[in-house]
Structure 1
Amino acid sequence: MALTKTVYNLLFRRTSTFAVTIMVGAILFERVFDQGGDAIFEQMNRGKLWTHIQHNYEKEGEE
């Protein structure tokens, strides 16, 4: 119960801190979701993406 009261007093009591908490939470969620989706995509397509097969098609010394 003390943790709930502390969180309420720190983050949700005032409208301004509540709005900032929601914005920061949304940004963090978006970053984690995007990074997780990219990691899953890379894992499922390992060996098929250009970054994985690039060395097969580019000659050494060229960029």
Structure 2
Amino acid sequence: MALVKSVYNLLFRRTSTFAITIMVGAVVFERAFDQGGDAIFDNINRGKLWKHIKHNYEQKSEE
């Protein structure tokens, strides 16, 4: 209960800090959701995407 009260006093008591908390939370959630979705997509399509197969088609430069 002390943790909930301290979080309330720190983040949600004033309107300005509440608004900032919501904005920062939205940005963090968006980044995490986007990276999680990309990771799942890459895992499902492993071996089919260009970044996974480009080494098969690149020519090595001979110097």
Q: Tell me the TM-score normalised to structure 2 length.
A: 0.93
For the aligned residue pairs, the C-alpha RMSD in angstroms reads 0.6
Gaps of 5+ in 2: none
Q: Which runs of 5+ in 1 are unaligned?
A: none
In the other structure, the counterpart of 1:42 is 42
Distance 1:52 1:29 in 2: 28
Q: Percent identity?
A: 77
Deviation, 1:19, is 0.3
TM-score (normalised: structure 1)? 0.93
Residues 21-55 of structure 1 show CA distances to partners (whole Å, capped at 9, x for unaligned) of: 00000000000000000000000000000001101
1:28 is aligned to 2:28:
yes
Deviation at 1:4, TM superposition (A): 0.9
